[in-house]
C-alpha cells in the first residue's frame, strides 16, 4: 500500500491515509465497501472469461481476446482455480 499518497479531508486539509481513516471513519468504511464491490466485479468478470473459453466458440483466434485473457489471468493461482488453463 502506498502510504505516501496525500489525501484531503472534508475540511480540505492534507493528510496521510492513516490520518484520513482517523478523521473520516465513514469515508474509510465507504472506500472499503467500494473496494469489496470492485473485487467482486473482477471475480465475476474472470469467471465470465473462463466460461467464454469453454463455451465452444474459439475466442482464442482473436488477438484482443488473447491479450486480455493473459493480462486478467496473470498471477492467478491455478491450484486454487483448477478450471484455469495456461494462456496460449
Query: pLDDT tens across 18-48, in order?
Result: 999 999 999 999 999 999 999 999 999 888 8
| 46 SS3 class | helix
Beta bridge partners of 49: none
> Collapsing DSSP states into helix, strand and coil, what is residue 88?
coil
Percentage above 70 pLDDT, the chain: 86
Q: Where are the domains of the chain?
A: 7-73
Give the C-alpha separation, 43 to 75, whole Å. Answer: 14
pLDDT of residue 55: 80
Model confidence at 88, in pLDDT bands (50, 70, 90)?
very low
The pLDDT-based confidence of 78 (bands split at 50, 70, 90) is low
Query: pTM for this structure?
Result: 0.54
Of 42 and 1, more confident: 42
Amino acid at each position: 500500500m502506498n502510504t505516501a499518497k496525500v489525501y484531503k479531508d472534508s475540511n480540505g486539509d492534507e493528510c496521510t491515509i492513516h490520518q484520513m481513516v482517523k478523521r473520516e471513519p465513514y469515508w474509510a468504511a465507504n472506500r472499503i465497501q467500494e473496494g469489496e464491490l470492485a473485487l467482486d466485479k473482477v471475480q465475476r468478470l474472470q469467471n465470465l472469461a473462463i466460461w467464454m473459453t469453454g463455451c465452444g466458440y474459439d475466442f482464442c483466434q482473436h488477438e484482443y481476446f488473447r491479450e486480455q485473457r493473459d493480462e486478467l489471468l496473470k498471477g492467478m493461482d491455478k491450484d486454487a482455480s483448477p478450471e484455469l488453463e495456461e494462456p496460449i
